[in-house]
C-alpha cells in the first residue's frame, strides 16, 4: 500500500483550492452574463412575454428565467463562504443545489413540451415524453437529495 508524502498532500490541496477558485470565477462570470442577457433582451421580453396571456408555458418560462437571479448570487455567497456559520452555509448550499436542480427540471420541461408540440401533440408522444421526463427527474432529484444528505463537512463554510 502506497502512502502519500506530506509535500504531495500539500500539492493536492493547493491544486484542489485552485480548482475551487476557478469554479468561483466561473460562477461570477455566469452571473455577469446572465445580467447582461437580461438587460439586452428586456424590451423584447416585455413585448412578447409580459404582455402575453398567462399560461403554463409562460409560468415555466418566468420561473426558469428569474430563479437564477436568486440562485446564482447565493451560489457566489456559498463559494466565498467567509462569515457564514456552518448551519447557514449548509442551508445556502442545500437551497442552491435544490433550486439548480428544480430550475433545470423546469427548463427540461419547457423543452419536453416543445418536443411534444413539434411532434403534433399526439397522446402517444405525450405519454412517452411524460414517462421519460418523470423517470429521469425522479432519479436526478433523488440523487441530489441523497448527495445533500451525505455531506458532512463543508470546507467553504470554514473560510478555507
**Which tens digit of pLDDT belongs to each residue from 82-128?**
667 777 778 888 888 888 899 999 999 999 999 999 999 999 999 99
Query: Is 70 a domain residue?
Result: yes
Query: Is 27 a domain residue?
Result: yes
Residues ≥6 apart with Cβ < 8 Å to 24? 76, 79, 80
- Beta carbons of 139 and 101 less than 8 angstroms apart: no
- Beta carbons of 147 and 94 less than 8 angstroms apart: no
- Beta carbons of 74 and 18 less than 8 angstroms apart: no
Query: Is 115 a domain residue?
Result: yes
Q: Percent of the chain beyond pLDDT 70?
A: 76
Question: How many domains does one find in the chain?
Answer: 1
- pTM to 2 decimals? 0.69
Name the DSSP class of 154: -
Closest CA to 67 of 93, 36, 102, 28: 102
Q: Which domain holds residue 65?
A: 6-158
Query: Is 135 a domain residue?
Result: yes
Largest distance between two CA atoms of the chain = 67
> How confident is the model at residue 137, as a pLDDT?
94
Return the number of other C-beta atoms located less than 10 Å from residue 152's C-beta.
Answer: 5
Query: Is 73 a domain residue?
Result: yes
Query: Is 1 a domain residue?
Result: no
Q: What is the mean predicted confidence (pLDDT) over 27-47?
A: 87
Amino acid at each position: 500500500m502506497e502512502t502519500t508524502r506530506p509535500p504531495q498532500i500539500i500539492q493536492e490541496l493547493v491544486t484542489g483550492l485552485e480548482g475551487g477558485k476557478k469554479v468561483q470565477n466561473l460562477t461570477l462570470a455566469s452571473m455577469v452574463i446572465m445580467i447582461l442577457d437580461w438587460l439586452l433582451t428586456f424590451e423584447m421580453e416585455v413585448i412578447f412575454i409580459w404582455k402575453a396571456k398567462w399560461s403554463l408555458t409562460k409560468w415555466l418560462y418566468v420561473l426558469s428565467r428569474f430563479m437564477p437571479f436568486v440562485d446564482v448570487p447565493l451560489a457566489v455567497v456559498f463559494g466565498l463562504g467567509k462569515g457564514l456559520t456552518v448551519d447557514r452555509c449548509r442551508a445556502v448550499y442545500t437551497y442552491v443545489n435544490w433550486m439548480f436542480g428544480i430550475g433545470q427540471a423546469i427548463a427540461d420541461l419547457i423543452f419536453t413540451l416543445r418536443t411534444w408540440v413539434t411532434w403534433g401533440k399526439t397522446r402517444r408522444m405525450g405519454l412517452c415524453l411524460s414517462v421519460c421526463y418523470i423517470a429521469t427527474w425522479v432519479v436526478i432529484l433523488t440523487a441530489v437529495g441523497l448527495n445533500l444528505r451525505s455531506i458532512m463537512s463543508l470546507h467553504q463554510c470554514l473560510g478555507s
